[in-house]
Amino acid sequence: MFNPKYKSVYVLLGLLLFLGLAIVACSQEPETVEVTRIVELPGETVTETVEVPVEMEVTRVVEVMVEPETAVSTIPFEAQWAASGHADASAEAFVHWDEDDPAEIPARCAKCHSTPGILDFLGADGSDFGTVDAAAPLGTTVECEACHNSVTADLASIVFPSGAEITGLGPEARCMQCHQGRASTVSVNNSIVEAGLDPVADPDTVSEDLGFTNIHYYAAAATQFGTWAMGGYEYEGQSYDSKFDHVEGYDTCVSCHDPHTLEVQFDECTVCHTDAASVDELVNIRMPGSLVDYDGDGDMSEGIFFEIEDLRAILFTSMQAYAAEVSGTPIVYDDHSYPYFFIDGDGNGEVTEGEAAFPNRYNAWTPRLAKAAYNYQASLKDPGRYAHGGKYMIQLLYDSIADLNDAISTPVDMTTLRRIDHGHFAGSEEAFRHWDEDGAVPGRCSKCHTAAGLPLFATEGVSITQPTANGLNCATCHNDLETYDVYVFDSVTFPSGAAVSFGEGESANTCINCHQGRSSTVSMNSSIGDLGDDEISDSLRFQNIHYFAAGATLFGTEVQGAYEFAGNEYLGKNEHVGAFDDCTECHSTHRLEVKVAECTECHENVETAADMWDIRVSEVDYDGDGDVTEGIAGEIATMVELLYPAIQEYAVSVGASPIIYDSHAYPYFFIDTDGNGEVDGGEAIYPNSYNTWTPSLLRAAYNYQYAQKDPGAFAHNGQYVIQVLYDSLVEMGADVSGMTRP
């Protein structure tokens, strides 16, 4: 009996029967065999017996259980997809080739502009993975099968145009196959070389063989992955932000965009960005760590979107000045007309009728102008640039302006422009990029040099290898992004083993987990062992306090961060004044800058941060230079200046190798191969590391480094630092007769 409830099942059976009959009808009456198909449905069983050619003989009965509620009657998410850009069959992205001869989508375009093309690229059609073997037919969009097929189910990596491969991806790997752009730093440099020029040596040579390189459209992944993908043009000698991670759970294509409508999942944004009333207002978002006026307009409340827009406008002004002055041909831009840059025939600086035409394309490119134009376009063709990787875009634009400034007679005034954020959020800097070639940050470094390291340490008490990070983020210090509570530490253990605290649960304790240094008197003594003070030993190596060990300086002898010489007494924690005696009371927690306005309440002569160097709390002439009006910073600076030659003289006096110091080259102390007392070319390299230490020399060198690597030492605990420098001078045999030890 026919049951309408199971109509779709009967249709399926009918199609199977029809297929069997069709095969029989097309044969020359082959021998047949009867096959019984049994389909069990809730409450009834349907049995069909059909004859099939003997070569199709089925040797067993096929039983299929069908649950009606799981039968597919519609395509999931079809309505959402149909309203998206991926389904718009009339869009230029899919009809661009309709009038071509032959009318087909070229292999170089087919991957992203047709479903057959992406299936070809993926190898889902049986071809090799990673290449498009043939042009694709017209008439398709980005359809279901483009993203849902046997290959994409396991796809976890992406190769960018630069050749960089990103692995360990999830479903976003499908999106990134196309949303990666079509060019990079590498392709721009290649175009310059192919024109017979050198990207660095021939910056201002015009070549008719050099053209504009276009990143293409919607290169969101290239923006997000920053320097890992090198989607922008990255200038030699500069470092750039890597992947913008946002916050956990919202750092991939599919966690921020609906994968079918492609729209931003706005309701999710408002959990944190409560001021945004609509998608259009997302351009006003600015992360709490972005406390720099990148475009120099004085507005640090505007969204990152506007910072980028203003920097691009500045860049274009620079490009026009350069084109007219250096290339000799004025330039204009039209973002709707290929190839976008054209000759400004009337020299009015704007696109006028007839100028934005292919025959009038710009043709006086130099390597310098080609690089800047590429970044100009890259910063415009990703509509979500401000959210995908805004700081990376800012760096590209800033560097392009700076590069053009080197060649134009009236450079842009860049004194108010800013390239990077404050330290914790400066993802392009060495503190976060040091491990890029390794691919991960080891456990001994991850607590302070990754976004996830401190939270793991706070919750589990361990540090393990972590992925490289693009600076710290909100979730590094805040355990709740709605209340913005910070991770609580009642006390913090320092490298010496001492545990100290600003008070139970105080937020400043969070800071000193990292701002404590990595060595101490204890670790120094452990490495020295029983060696005599002047005994040269090849077992000794320089120990580095590391950078910004403010907490160690502040707590003084309680944590023994500096090297404290046996038999001497040292100051403990610097008790400033009640309301200003910890990290967060004196520094802005995000800018990290000193709260200068608070200082002026007591220090009347302080108007800027630079004025703080003149503060002193004693009239004792510690450094013996006769000046009791200079700030404590000046007293420290004099003693540091005297300690270096004392170290050099001591090394020679005990028969060790001559020694030199370079604050920017690890491991900082090197052999002075020519004995001239200065760092010359080729000396400040790791193979030339200093290797004839004595215990006394090592102690003094450690304190010399210590005093320089905490730039705020004079304020954190100036007299403690003077004590260890004084004792180091004594250890080196220097004349300290005019000095006074606190």
Predicted confidence at residue 65, as pLDDT, reads: 39
Predicted confidence at residue 563, as pLDDT, reads: 98
Please tell me whether residues 63 and 86 are part of one structural domain: no
For the residues 236-250, what does the mean pLDDT come to?
93
Question: pLDDT class for 32, splitting at 50, 70, 90?
Answer: very low
Question: Does residue 75 lie in a domain region?
Answer: no
| C-alpha closest to that of 553 among 713, 703, 424 | 713
> Of the given ranges (66-80, 170-184, 356-370), which has the lowest mean pLDDT?
66-80
Please tell me whether residues 57 and 86 are part of one structural domain: no
Please tell me whether residues 66 and 155 are part of one structural domain: no
Question: pLDDT class for 577, splitting at 50, 70, 90?
Answer: confident
Please tell me whether residues 88 and 201 are part of one structural domain: yes
Please answer whether residues 373 and 212 qualify as being in contact, where contact means their C-beta atoms are separated by less than 8 angstroms: yes
Please tell me whether residues 117 and 165 are part of one structural domain: yes
> Of the given ranges (150-159, 292-301, 380-389, 608-617), which has the lowest mean pLDDT?
608-617
- The tokens for 309 are 């827009």
Question: Does residue 184 lie in a domain region?
Answer: yes
Predicted confidence at residue 73, as pLDDT, reads: 57
> Of the given ranges (61-75, 250-264, 356-370, 646-660), which has the lowest mean pLDDT?
61-75
Neighbour-count burial for 449-483, b at 16+ CB within 10 Å, e otherwise: bbbbbbbbbbeeeebbbbebbbbbbbbbbbeeeee
Please answer whether residues 606 and 596 qualify as being in contact, where contact means their C-beta atoms are separated by less than 8 angstroms: yes
pLDDT of 518 higher than 90: yes
Please tell me whether residues 94 and 201 are part of one structural domain: yes
pLDDT of 26 higher than 70: no
| C-alpha closest to that of 711 among 515, 579, 451 | 515
pLDDT of 24 higher than 80: no
Question: Does residue 77 lie in a domain region?
Answer: no
Please answer whether residues 231 and 222 qualify as being in contact, where contact means their C-beta atoms are separated by less than 8 angstroms: yes
Residue 1 neighbours by CB under 8 Å, 6+ apart: none
Residue 92 neighbours by CB under 8 Å, 6+ apart: none
Q: Which of 213, 230, 248 is the last residue of a domain?
A: 213
Report the chain's C-alpha Rg in angstroms. Answer: 34
Amino acid at residue number 4: P
Please tell me whether residues 49 and 94 are part of one structural domain: no
Q: Which of 213, 231, 246 is the last residue of a domain?
A: 213
| Residue listed under structure tokens 């505007």 | 302
Q: Which of 183, 213, 243 is the last residue of a domain?
A: 213
Question: pLDDT class for 178, splitting at 50, 70, 90?
Answer: very high
> Of the given ranges (86-90, 286-290, 450-454), which has the lowest mean pLDDT?
286-290
Pairwise pLDDT comparison (389 vs 245), residue with the higher score:
389
Question: Does residue 620 lie in a domain region?
Answer: no
Please tell me whether residues 31 and 99 are part of one structural domain: no
Question: Does residue 246 lie in a domain region?
Answer: no
Helical axes 367-378 vs 185-194, angle rounded to 10°: 150
Please tell me whether residues 50 and 154 are part of one structural domain: no
The DSSP string of 407-445 is T-SS----TT---S--GGG-TTSHHHHTTTTTTSB-HHH
Question: In which domain, by residue range, is 47 found?
Answer: 4-70
For the residues 212-233, what does the mean pLDDT come to?
98
Question: Does residue 17 lie in a domain region?
Answer: yes
As a 3-state breakdown, the chain gives helix, strand, coil percent values, each rounded to 5, of: 40, 10, 55
Model pLDDT for residues 661-682, shown as the tens digit of each residue? 999 999 999 999 999 999 999 9
Predicted confidence at residue 196, as pLDDT, reads: 97
Model pLDDT for residues 611-658, shown as the tens digit of each residue? 999 999 889 999 999 999 999 999 999 999 999 999 999 999 999 999
Percent of the chain with pLDDT over 70: 90
Total domains in the fold of the chain: 2
Please tell me whether residues 41 and 147 are part of one structural domain: no
Please tell me whether residues 30 and 101 are part of one structural domain: no
Please answer whether residues 253 and 179 qualify as being in contact, where contact means their C-beta atoms are separated by less than 8 angstroms: yes
Predicted confidence at residue 247, as pLDDT, reads: 85
How far CA 34 is from CA of 37, 49, 54, 58, in Å, comes to 10, 6, 9, 9
Predicted confidence at residue 23, as pLDDT, reads: 33
For the residues 307-317, what does the mean pLDDT come to?
98
Q: Is residue 45 helix, strand or coil? A: strand
Question: Does residue 147 lie in a domain region?
Answer: yes
Residue 589 neighbours by CB under 8 Å, 6+ apart: 507
Question: Does residue 201 lie in a domain region?
Answer: yes
> Of the given ranges (100-114, 359-373, 574-588, 720-734), which has the lowest mean pLDDT?
574-588
How crowded is residue 299: how many other Cβ atoms within 10 Å of its Cβ? 11
In 226-379, which residue ranges form alpha helices assigned H by DSSP?
Answer: 253-256, 266-269, 304-322, 367-378
Which H or E element spans position 499?
A: strand 499-500
Please tell me whether residues 86 and 207 are part of one structural domain: yes
Question: pLDDT class for 337, splitting at 50, 70, 90?
Answer: very high
Cα-based angle 523, 529, 531 (whole degrees, multiple of 5): 130
* Average pLDDT for the chain: 91
